[in-house]
Amino acid sequence: MLPWEGDLAGRLDRHTVDSELLRGNPLGDPHERPLWVYVPPGYDDGDERYPAVYVIQGYTGHVAMWANRTPFRQTFLETADAVFAGGTPGCVVVYVDAWTAYGGSQFVDSPGTGRYHSYLCDEIVPWVDARYRTLPVPESRAIAGKSSGGFGAMITPMLRPDLFGALATHAGDSLYELSYVQDFGKAARALRAYDQDILKWWADFRARPAFTKPEDATLLQLLGVSACFSAREDGTPELPCDPRTGAVRPEVWARWLAWDPVRMVPDHAAAIRALRAVWIDAGTSDEYYLDLGAEAFRAAIAEAGLPDDRVRFELFDAGHAAIDYRYPLSLAWLAERLAR
């Protein structure tokens, strides 16, 4: 229960990567990005190669937040280290940053934000493999995250089965009718104070301390995810709902649904069947109903043909927040299953 940082059994390297793909991104976000790479105890004493687990974050997360301390808990940097210090077979753990000025990228390529999917797959993965003794094959490479990070962990192996062969999703975004539509009504109401114009809210949000108005989180996510999923070619985010009534706009909403992991599975069934290990969990009172999204994703991958013995599914008593204590559980589980 000591709150003060102790030494790690392994080693955490804090790098900065100069990205070609993020250079000139539409939001003017930095193309120099932090990348933290952890090597387990024993790494420096031998020449063994290790599986790698890529860890991505939820919406509004950026890499430096992994060092945030909360009372009576340790950081994931520490609890992840403790997994390997405790005897679980070692992995390289890669903490990737995909933050944007809107708070996130959803780990996709979009004219509204930038090429974050490509950045992760085509820049970071080779960068890590070139500098660390990883096993550079999909059966030894996993991706894990929570919330939007869980979403990224679900979709990236579908899109790039050549790279990722395992995943862990904690309360990952899915089943969008339940997780997103409820916010359309909240957003439309909130926009009454901004002439029903989300860009007026955005201008206001940027000009004052963030998150001092109750609508900030809802509107930020609505605008930001629109930038990821439904930007025009010129980068302008198109909302999936009418900003006055909250009514679904079918054409734009269809673009969002095309990114619903549950709905993506049938088109990527072969990639799904090739997965070596899939961890799915969520809290039973998740405010975005991501426990139900988890159920639906589990059902979809079973339908696609993934055998049950490669899946770990668990619902637990919690909401959406403060579930970081789940991450070392999935990390240890993946570490046992990745090929080495």
Q: How far is the CB of 72 from a second copy (least distance, A)?
A: 3
Give me the count of residues in the chain: 340
Smaller CB separation from a second copy, 166 or 301: 301
Taking the least distance from each CB to a second copy, the nearer of 39 and 290 is 290
| C-beta contacts of 213-220 below 8 A and 24+ residues apart | 214/190, 215/186, 215/187, 215/190, 218/183, 218/186, 218/187, 218/190, 219/187, 219/190, 219/191, 220/60, 220/102, 220/103
Residues that bind a second copy (CB under 8 A): 1-5, 30, 34, 60-62, 64-65, 67-73, 99, 101, 103, 175, 177-178, 181-182, 184-185, 188-189, 205-206, 209-212, 242, 244-248, 262, 284-285, 289, 291-293, 295-296, 299, 317-318, 322, 325
CB of 209 to a second copy, least distance (A): 4
Least separation in angstroms between residue 222's CB and a second copy is 14
Q: From its phi and psi, is residue 269 left (phi > 0), alpha (psi between -120 and 50) or beta?
A: alpha
For a second copy, the closer CB: 58 or 165: 58
* Helix (H/G/I), strand (E/B), else coil: 279: strand
Nearer to a second copy among residue 1 and residue 130 (C-beta): 1
Question: Is the CB of 189 or the CB of 232 nearer to a second copy?
Answer: 189
User: CB of residue 251 vs a second copy: minimum separation in angstroms?
Assistant: 15
- In the bound complex, what is the minimum distance in angstroms from residue 107's beta carbon to a second copy? 17
What DSSP character marks residue 74?
-
Q: Find all residues with CB under 8 Å of 75, minimum gap 6, and list them.
A: 5, 66, 67, 68, 69
